Structure 1
Amino acid sequence: MPRVKETPLLPVEDVREAALFFVVGALCFLAALAALSAKSTYGAAKSWTAEVQGELTVSLPDADRRGADDAAKIIRQIEGVRDVRVFSKNEIDALLEPNFGSRGLPDSLPLPQLVAVKADPNVTDMGPTIARKLTEAGIASAVDEHADWAGDVRRVLAIARMTAMIAVALLVSTAVAVIAFATHAALLARRDIVDVLHLAGARDRFIAGLFERRFWILGLRAGSVGALMALGAAALMIFTVQAHGGRSGLLPELSLDFFDLVILVITPVIAGFAARLAARITVIRALKGVM
C-alpha cells in the first residue's frame, strides 16, 4: 500500500515571512557584532592596562645627559624598581614627531631629559617616592605614573562595553517584539485553520506548537545568516587591520578566538529560542482572548 504524504496544517511557504526573515537576520547580525565588540573592548582594556601597570616616566627639565644618568642611578636604588632607562635624543625626537614633524625641534630649544622606569605593580606610592628621592638629591623632576591614565581608560572602555551590551539587549528585545507581532498576524491570517482545529478538539498547546516549530526554524535560519554575516564583517576588519600592518591602539581589536566563535555559534540558538518563546506566548494569549 503506497504511503500517503502528510499535508502540513500550516502552509510550508509564506511570502510574508520573507520580510520577517530579513529583519531577524539583520538584528542577529547587529547583535552578534555588538557582542563581539563588547568582548573585544574588555580584552583591549585588560591588555592595555596590564601593559602600563608599573610604568612611570620621569621628566628632568633642568638636567643634561649626565644629570639624567645620575638620576637613573638614584632611581635604581629604590626598592621595587625593576628597570631604569634614559631616553636618547633620537627617542625623544620620535615622541615629538607626530606633533612637530620629522625634523623635530631646533637644537637651541632645550628639551627635558626623560627616564623610563619599570617598577613592581604591587608597590604603591612609587611615583611620590621617586620624586622625593630626586628632590633630596637636588634634582628637579616631574613623575608621571601611567597607571593614572589606565584608570581613565578603564572607565571609558567600561562605558563602551556596557553600551554594547545594552545594544545587544535592545536588539534581542526588538527581535522578540517583531516576531511576536508577526506571529499574531500569521495567527489572524490563518484563523480559519485555527477554527477547524478547535472544532476537531485540538488544544491550545497543540496549535501553539505548530507556530512554535515554524518560528523556531525561522529563528535558527535567520540567526545563522546573521551570524555568518557578522563573521564575514569581523574577518574583513581583521584583514584590513593586518593588511595595513598596524594595531588599532585602544580601539577594540577583533581576533576571532574561541570565545568569539562561541558568540557566533550561540547567536542562531538564541534567535531560535527567542522566536519560539515569542510565538508560544503570543499564540496562547491570542487563543485565550479568542483572537
Structure 2
Amino acid sequence: MAETATTQAPRAASAAPEPALPPTLRRNAPLVPTDSAASRSLAAVIAILTFLAALCAGAAEIVASSASQWQGAVTQEATIQVRPGPGRDLDADIARAEAIAKAEPGIAATRVFSKAEAERLLEPWLGAGLDLSDLPVPRLITLKLADSPVPDLKHLRGTLAAAMPGVASLDDHALWLQRLSTMANTFVGVGIGIVALVLVATGLAVAFATRGAMAGNKEVVEVLHFVGADDDFIARAFQRRFFGLGLRGGVIGAGLALAAFGLAGLVARAWRSGPAGEEIEALFGAFHIGWRGYASVLLIGVIASVVTGIVSRLTVRRFLA
C-alpha cells in the first residue's frame, strides 16, 4: 500500500497543469503589445483627435457647399433700385425702369416689389409696426438673369443712368459675392489649419507613446540586437503595431464623426417645420456634407493611421541611433 501511494504521487504531480506564461513571453507574442492599458489609451486619444479633425473638415465642407449655393442663387439675380423724388411719379419711374430692363437681352423675368414688401425689408433694422408712409422708401425690381444669352449688366447700368439719372441704379451684388467668397474661404482655411494642428498633435502623442514603449521594452530590444536583429526589423515591428492602433482609432473617430453628421441632419429635418429650422436650413443647408465631405472624413481617418505608423518608425529609428 505504501509503495502504491508513493508511485501514484509522482504521477499526480506530473499530471498537474503547467502554469501559463505571461502574454508577453508566449511563442507568438508581439514585440509591442496592443492590448495593454497604454495602447488602449493611445487608441482612444487618436480616436478623439480624429473625431475633432473630421468634425472640422465636415463643417468646412458644409460652409463651402452652402456658400456655393448662395453664390449660385445670387449670381442669377440683379436688383434695380428706384428712388422716390420730389415732383416725380414713382409708379411711372418704376414702370419705365422695368421696361428698360425687359428690353435688355438676357433678362429672363422681372418682379416689382410692392410698397408693403419694400417696407417689410426694413423691419430688421427699424422694427415692425412702424408707419413708413412719410419716408422716401426706395422701390426694388428684381431681375432674373438668363443663362443664354448672357446679360450685359454694364450696358444696362449705363442705360438706366442715362435715362433716369439719380433715380434708378443697378446692383449686381458683386460686393456681396466678394464678401461671401472671402468668408467661405476664410472658414475653409481655418478648418484646414485646425485639421493640420490636430494631426500634429496626433503625431506628438504617438511619438511620446513610442518612446515609452521603447523604454518599457528596452531589454527585449537588447536581446533582439544580441540575436542579430537589425534596426529596420525592430522599427517595422513598432510601425506595424502603432499603425494598427492608429487605424483602430481613426476608424472609430471617423465613424463617430459620420454618426454626428447623420444625427445633425436628422435633427435639422425634424426642426425644418418651424421658423428656427427654416433659418438654420437657409444658413447651413440640411447638414448634408455630400460625397466630398464623406471622403474627407474617411481620408482623415486614413491619414491619422498613416501618421501614426510613420511617426512611430521615425521615433524608433531615432531612439536606436
Q: Same fold (TM over 0.5)?
A: yes
The residue that corresponds to 1:158 in the other structure is 185
Query: How far apart, in 2, do the equivalents of 1:184 and 1:162 lie?
Result: 33
Are positions 1:197 and 2:224 aligned together?
yes
Q: How far off is 1:76 after superposition?
A: 0.9
Q: Cα distance, 1:234 vs. partner?
A: 1.6
- How far apart are 1:208 and its partner, in Å? 1.4
Q: Which secondary structure state, in structure 2, belongs to the residue aligned with residue 84 of structure 1? A: strand
176-185 or 59-68, which moves further after superposition? 59-68
Is 1:173 the counterpart of 2:173 in the alignment?
no
- 1:104-119 correspondence runs (5 A): 104-119=130-145
Distance 1:250 1:257 in 2: 16
Aligned with 1:21 (options 24, 35, 43): 43
Choose which of 270, 275, 278 in structure 1 pairs with 2:303: 270
My pick for the range that moved more, 255-264 or 70-79, is 255-264
RMSD over equivalenced CA pairs, Å: 2.5
What corresponds to 2:108 in structure 1?
82
Moved more, 83-92 or 178-187: 83-92
Stretch of structure 1 that moved more, 88-97 or 212-221 = 88-97
Shift of 1:223: 0.8
| TM-score, normalised by the number of residues in structure 2 | 0.79
Q: Residue in 2 aligned with 1:149? A: 176
Deviation track 1:51-77 (CA, whole Å, cap 9, x = no partner) reads: 111422111112533431222012111
Pairwise CA distance, 1:50: 1.3
Shift of 1:86: 0.8
| Residues 54-69 of structure 1 aligned to structure 2 (within 5 Å) | 54-62=76-84, 63-69=89-95
What's the counterpart of residue 247 of structure 2? 220
Distance 1:211 1:219 in 2: 12
Larger Rg: 2
2:290 aligned residue: 257
Q: Tell me how many residue pairs correspond in the alignment.
A: 284
Structure 2 CA distance for aligned equivalents of residues 174 and 12 of structure 1: 21
Amino acid at match of 2:304: A
Is contact 2:247–2:304 with CA below 8 Å preserved after alignment? yes
Aligned to 2:20: none
CA distance in structure 2 between the partners assigned to 1:141 and 1:131 by the alignment: 9
| Aligned residue identity for 2:296 | I
**In 1, Cα distance between equivalents of 2:258 and 2:238:** 30
SS at match of 1:115: strand
7, 30, 33: which one aligns with 2:55 = 33
* Percent identity of paired positions between Structure 1 and Structure 2: 31
